[in-house]
Chain A
Amino acid sequence: NAGVTQTPKFRVLKTGQSMTLLCAQDMNHEYMYWYRQDPGMGLRLIHYSVGEGTTAKGEVPDGYNVSRLKKQNFLLGLESAAPSQTSVYFCASSYSLAEGSYNEQFFGPGTRLTVL
């Protein structure tokens, strides 16, 4: 099993350009998440999905859109990139929450994005 994979690994954009980050998981997880990691700020949740066809806003959703058309894929889009979106982006997935349990999130290797 590949686990959680992210494409691309690195990307440099100019201000105003758009791009899509792809996350794929082969663990049949219901839940998927997109985080951004910035120095001294930990990981902050951008958007998440609790199942195919559903998405919801996280802590820092502005400037991003997401889609979950297939259970195994979660796409993160930047419509008009800004320098403030320079960050490392991580995708994660987990099983759905069974009553009274908490499920481990499995992270991908990250995408390092620079917006000039």
Chain B
Amino acid sequence: QQQVKQSPQSLIVQKGGISIINCAYENTAFDYFPWYQQFPGKGPALLIAIRPDVSEKKEGRFTISFNKSAKQFSLHIMDSQPGDSATYFCAASKETSGSRLTFGEGTQLTVNP
């Protein structure tokens, strides 16, 4: 049972374009939503995270948008660059889970020059 569903599975964007990756969750107890970035041959690394008390969080070209009522959150990458080409995972956690994360399926992003 996949508690966090992510789409699309793969995404191709031109340099300078906007990349958008969406996630939906089922468990209303989730209260922490990080995004991890993974380059080929490497482990995932935290990119940006949000708590549900805010609807948006921005760090440089990366923005998380959060819709609590719809139980959805998304990652927007503005001015996408070839160096952003990686696999992106959304995840969710709840305070009582001891930092355990439930991950989405992943999105392979390719940014063409």
Residues of the A chain whose Cβ atoms lie less than 8 Å from the Cβ of B103 = 35, 42-44
| Chain A residues numbered 14-67 whose CB sits less than 8 Å from any CB in chain B | 31, 33, 35, 40-45, 48, 50, 58-59
Contact B9 A40 (CB under 8 A): yes
Across the interface, A50 reaches (CB within 8 A) one of B41, B43, B89, B98, namely B98
Q: What is the minimal beta-carbon distance from B103 to any residue of chain A, in angstroms?
A: 4
The CA of A109 and the CA of B49, in the complex, are separated in Å by 22
| Chain B residues numbered 7-55 whose CB sits less than 8 Å from any CB in chain A | 9, 32, 34, 41-46, 49, 51
B69: interface (CB < 8 Å):
no
Residues of the A chain whose Cβ atoms lie less than 8 Å from the Cβ of B41 = 109-110
Contact B49 A102 (CB under 8 A): yes
Contact B43 A109 (CB under 8 A): yes
Residues of the B chain whose Cβ atoms lie less than 8 Å from the Cβ of A50 = 98
A103: interface (CB < 8 Å):
yes
Residues of the B chain whose Cβ atoms lie less than 8 Å from the Cβ of A92 = 43
Q: Hey, which bits of chain A sit against chain B, CB under 8 A?
A: 4, 31, 33, 35, 40-45, 48, 50, 58-59, 90, 92, 94, 97, 100, 102-110
- For the complex of A and B, 5 pairs with smallest distance between CB atoms: A107-B43, A42-B103, A102-B32, A43-B103, A104-B46
